[in-house]
Structures are given as structure tokens and as C-alpha cells.
Structure 1
Amino acid sequence: MAEYGDQPRMGFFTDTSVCIGCKACEVACKEWNGVPEAGGLDLLGMSYDNTGALGSNTWRHVAFVEQPKKSTVDLGMPDLGAPDLGVPDVGAPGQDEPGVRWLMSSDVCKHCTHAACLDVCPTGSLFRTEFGTVVVQQDICNGCGYCVPACPYGVIEKRESDGRAFKCTLCYDRLGAGLEPACAKACPTDSIQFGELDELRERADERVQTLHESGVPEARLYGRDPEDGVGGDGAFFLLLDEPEVYGLPPDPVVTTRDLPAMWKRAAVTAAGVAAALAASFLGRRR
């Protein structure tokens, strides 16, 4: 079990199969953390979404993905209807439109096990907390922006108003007070679940198995595997389609994975150059 001192690693498991797109998590995140508005309430023109992506002013983003349903009738099979996932009928956008299904997912910083943003930060502004999460200390951030391209998920961003980098802190202040993050607290369907990461992984495995047995073979976990390119995510997801459908990279890799080898080669090269210069200098003296 991943632990930091006496504290087990904490994280999020987001079950998109029960997300209803209410955006309560977005509102709670902004309200608790004092995150500024991100361009008003106008829709983007491509969906019912009005935030579009994660950024310095959007630490939680609920994606709305509209898809044509795969017709079983066209395949000569009886249409048995959608499986009962235990989701309440709350009037989600487009639910009455024939041939359309909605995929909704509340995205957030992944709090990677191998976090490239930590590797490249020159000031120590980004640090790993006792809960295993990754947080930006705003009073230390100098706005260099190195962390922005380092993130394989495109999560962290500089805020235009002051130039510093901002992202989800997993409500570090609330965790220190023994409270769950604001987004998980506000989620009405428990789509966002907070707890010890190892327990969340076990719970997620059971949920996927249940969905498979219920006739939802496309259910899969994203960011759960500790052997993936970032060592597993501290915030991982249950998806009902390929990651790209939700705007997630299919095979994220820590962008600083080659740095140790690069520094080693640079050191060998530098030593070789120094030796050559020394030999040349001694040769001239002779």
C-alpha cells in the first residue's frame, strides 16, 4: 500500500457510469477554492458544456459527449434497451432523443504517481503532500511555466491575470481538517468517490465486474494501473468508451522519464570533453 509517513495515499475514483452532468462538482470546487470564472456561462456551441477543458480557472470539468447509439436492430438483433445501471432519471440533456446516448465525466488533475510537473519545477512550488497528492504553492510559484508542457494530461495552466500556475489541490486544506474534497462532497450520485487509493482501486475493480455482468462490456478503468506510463493516477476513472472519446490521452507517459539517461549521457560527454581539453593543454606544454 502506498503510504506517506503514517498517512495512506488518498485519491479520487470517478465512476462516469453514474455521472448525470449536473456540474455540482464544478460549482463546489470554484466556491470552496475561490476559483475565478472561466469566460462566463455561454455554451461553447458544440455541446451543453460551457467550460470545455481543465485549466487555471477550471479545476473540475464535466465533459458532455453526445454519441449516436449503436443500433442492435440494424444488426438483426432484438433491441433489449439499455441496461439498468442504477442511475436516477433526472432529465439529462438529450435523453429523449432517439438514437443518442450521452457520456458524462467529471475530469480533474490526476495527481500522478510519477509527476513530471514536480520534476521540472525549479522553485519547489510544486510538492508532494503527506496525502500523496500534488499541490502548487502559490506564494513560491514564479510563473516560469515549465510545468505546463510537462503535464501529459494538459491539466496545469498559467492564469493570465497574474502569470502563476494553478490546478486542483484535491482540497488540501480540507484534507488537513479531516474533510473530504468539496467536489466529492457535492456529488449527488457518488460518481466522484474519495478515499484511500488502494481501497478505491478494489472498489473500482468490483464495479467494472458488476457492469460487465450487467451487459456493459465496454466498461473499463483508466489510470488505475500502477504499471502504466505515469505509475498510476491518484485520480482515476471508470469509462464507458475509449479514453480519446473523453478527451483523455490513451497512453499517457511521464514526460520526464528520459531525464536521468539524458543527464547521464551529458555527464559522460562533459567528462570526455574535459579529458580532451586537459590532454590538449598538457600536450602543448610539452
Structure 2
Amino acid sequence: MTQERVGFFTDTSVCIGCKACEVACKEWNALPEDGLSLTAMSYDNTEALGASTWRHVAFIEQPSPDGRTELPLVDGESADTGSSDMRWLMSSDVCKHCTHAACLDVCPTGALFRTEFGTVVVQEDICNGCGYCVPACPYGVIEQRPSDGRVFKCTMCYDRLGAGQEPACAKACPTDSIQFGPLDELRERAALRVDQLHEQGVGDARLYGHDPDDGVGGDGAFFLLLDEPEVYGLPPAPVVTTRDLPAMWRHAGAAALSLLGGVAACFAIAGRTAKTGGTRR
């Protein structure tokens, strides 16, 4: 990589669920709409990340322990939305642009590649629709479009990065819930934000996907969460799905050599037997 690695830090504590990031992503990347019917998940009409939804704002409803629905804001104040026995946790999800990306490992055509910014991008004109990357993703981000089988996902607005601009979703976010910049700087900023929330009494605040020593080598898009990852539909301990491939290839190679050795031994024995039998006659 010739550029400093960049990424997303999504602070869910200040997400207001406006979905401006979803709209900006679709508009900039010319993504088709993928359903407008309401679901059982509050007003979450896009439901999940997919080939036509590269940013998805999740609405998670939970019982509120104090009977009030509050949204923490940047300045430490809270927006009280009134008495309720439920609270909403909102989170704008996206492709994680993993450090150890299994999708890259399994792509047979090179359609998936690592950019100079450290992001992972699909070249749609090279994708052959094999779908190997779909089960390889530990987050379930990648999806094939039914029309032609090709996969699509967040590119972190690769074209905008090349022009020195920030991604459309971060540009459109009105509360700075989605922050874009050098990954190391974002990690430092996120750690300070967690400390700030803990001082304000938000003890459940924690970071997700920021640790370079985790199962995917750290994410290029990481999050500040207010509850367990499972609540947001995120795996608690993601692991690169191709981590065992080198060992598997070594075992397969050893097995193949053993098989070839056995076959060669059988031919040698057969040859000696035939030679011995011919002499006796």
C-alpha cells in the first residue's frame, strides 16, 4: 500500500437513525432500491446489508430499565424522547474491510482486491458470479444479485478516495456517528470516546472490531457499541474463515505424496513379481 490505511469509526451512541448514510450511499453508487415495505423490525425497511444495500441502519428495540427512551449525544447530554418501556439502539452497519479478508483468499478471478487505501473492493466487471466469497465472509456482508449472480458490497467510495474526498455516507452523517480518516487516528479517538462515555455513566460502551490481534486482524470499519455485539447482529468473536487453509494444503500435500509413494511402491512390487515369475518359466 502506498497510502496510509483509512477506515470508518461508527459511534452508535450518537446515531439518530436518520438513514442519511443509506440514502447517500445509494445515490452516489447508483444502487437500486431493494424494498420499501415495513418489517417487524420497527421502521427498518432495508432489513440487512446486501448487494443493493451497502450501508444499513439497524433499529434494535430493547426494554428500557428506567422506563425512559434516551439517546446519548456528542456533548454528553441526552435527548429524552419521552416515557416508554422500550429503547432504541441504532447502528449503521457496513462491510468491515478486514485486515485478513477471507473473501480475497477465495476469489478465483481477482475480482476482489486490496486497494492502496487498505480497503477491499469488488471489480464487478471481473466477478464471474461463482459466489465463493459469500460463505467466506465471517460477517455475512457479501451477497449475490439474483439477476446475474455477481457480488456487490461497500467500496468505501473508492472513486471518492482517489479524488481526495471522504465517503458519501460519512459526508452525509449529521451527527458524526460515521467518522472517516486514518485508521490509527480513529482507533485513538474511539478509545477516548469510550472513556468519555464511561465517565458519563454509560458503562456498557465498548469497541468492536478495533483490535489488530482479533480473529480477522482488526477491521477497517469498527464500531462503538452500547451492548453486546450479538444484539446488533454481529458475531462476538469473528475469525477469518480461511485461517486453516495453509495447514489444510500442507496436509493435502503430505497425503498426496503418501498416496503417490504407495502407488509407486505397488508398481515396484508388481514389477519385481512379474520379473521373478518370468524367470521361473
**Bin of the TM-score, shorter chain as denominator length:** over 0.9
What amino acid does structure 2 have at the position aligned with 1:45? A
In structure 1, the residue matched to 2:265 is 279
In structure 1, the residue matched to 2:250 is 264
Task: Find the partner of 2:13 among 11, 14, 17.
Answer: 17
In structure 2, the residue matched to 1:114 is 100
Contact 1:83 1:214 in 2 (8 A): no
Task: Report the Cα distance in structure 2 between the residues aligned to 1:49 and 1:241, rounded to whole angstroms.
Answer: 19
Report the alpha carbon displacement of residue 280 of structure 1 after superposing the two structures with TM.
1.1
Contact 2:114 2:120 in 1 (8 A): yes
Relative to structure 1, the CA distance from residue 108 to residue 181 in structure 2 (aligned partners, 3 Å threshold; closer, same or farther) is same
Relative to structure 1, the CA distance from residue 241 to residue 90 in structure 2 (aligned partners, 3 Å threshold; closer, same or farther) is closer
Q: Which runs of 5+ in 2 are unaligned?
A: 273-281
Task: Report the Cα distance in structure 1 between the residues aligned to 2:66 and 2:76, rounded to whole angstroms.
Answer: 22
In structure 1, the residue matched to 2:278 is none
Relative to structure 1, the CA distance from residue 36 to residue 51 in structure 2 (aligned partners, 3 Å threshold; closer, same or farther) is same
Task: Report the Cα distance in structure 2 between the residues aligned to 1:84 and 1:183, rounded to whole angstroms.
Answer: 19
Relative to structure 1, the CA distance from residue 65 to residue 97 in structure 2 (aligned partners, 3 Å threshold; closer, same or farther) is farther
In structure 2, the residue matched to 1:167 is 153
- TM normalised by structure 1 equals 0.91
Q: How does 1:92-241 map to 2 (within 5 A)?
A: 95-241=81-227
What amino acid does structure 2 have at the position aligned with 1:164? R
Task: Report the Cα distance in structure 1 between the residues aligned to 2:77 and 2:29, rounded to whole angstroms.
Answer: 29
In structure 2, the residue matched to 1:76 is none
Report the alpha carbon displacement of residue 69 of structure 1 after superposing the two structures with TM.
1.1
Task: Find the partner of 2:48 among 48, 53, 59.
Answer: 53
Moved over 6 A (4+): 81-84, 87-91
Contact 2:76 2:200 in 1 (8 A): no
Report the alpha carbon displacement of residue 162 of structure 1 after superposing the two structures with TM.
2.0
What is the root-mean-square deviation in Å for CA atoms of aligned residues? 1.8
Instruction: Please list the CA deviations of residues 146-192 of structure 1 after superposition, one character each: whole Å capped at 9, or x if unmatched.
Output: 00010010000001122100000000000000000000000000000
SS at match of 1:212: helix
In structure 1, the residue matched to 2:59 is 64
Report the alpha carbon displacement of residue 71 of structure 1 after superposing the two structures with TM.
3.4
What amino acid does structure 1 have at the position aligned with 2:18? C
Report the alpha carbon displacement of residue 89 of structure 1 after superposing the two structures with TM.
7.8
Task: Report the Cα distance in structure 1 between the residues aligned to 2:55 and 2:146, rounded to whole angstroms.
Answer: 18
Relative to structure 1, the CA distance from residue 52 to residue 84 in structure 2 (aligned partners, 3 Å threshold; closer, same or farther) is closer
Task: Find the partner of 2:75 among 62, 83, 86.
Answer: 86
Task: Report the Cα distance in structure 2 between the residues aligned to 1:82 and 1:217, rounded to whole angstroms.
Answer: 15
What amino acid does structure 1 have at the position aligned with 2:153? K
Report the alpha carbon displacement of residue 90 of structure 1 after superposing the two structures with TM.
7.9
- Aligned pairs, number: 271
Contact 2:215 2:238 in 1 (8 A): yes
Contact 1:18 1:87 in 2 (8 A): no
Instruction: Please list the CA deviations of residues 229-256 of structure 1 after superposition, one character each: whole Å capped at 9, or x if unmatched.
Output: 1110000000000011111111111111
In structure 2, the residue matched to 1:37 is 33
Q: Which runs of 5+ in 1 are unaligned?
A: 73-78
Task: Report the Cα distance in structure 1 between the residues aligned to 2:72 and 2:115, rounded to whole angstroms.
Answer: 41
Matching of residue 251 in structure 1 with residue 247 in structure 2 = no
Relative to structure 1, the CA distance from residue 155 to residue 85 in structure 2 (aligned partners, 3 Å threshold; closer, same or farther) is same
Task: Report the Cα distance in structure 1 between the residues aligned to 2:232 and 2:72, rounded to whole angstroms.
Answer: 21
Task: Report the Cα distance in structure 2 between the residues aligned to 1:226 and 1:84, rounded to whole angstroms.
Answer: 28
What amino acid does structure 2 have at the position aligned with 1:195? G
Instruction: Please list the CA deviations of residues 77-98 of structure 1 after superposition, one character each: whole Å capped at 9, or x if unmatched.
Output: xx9x88765378889xxx3342
Relative to structure 1, the CA distance from residue 127 to residue 237 in structure 2 (aligned partners, 3 Å threshold; closer, same or farther) is same
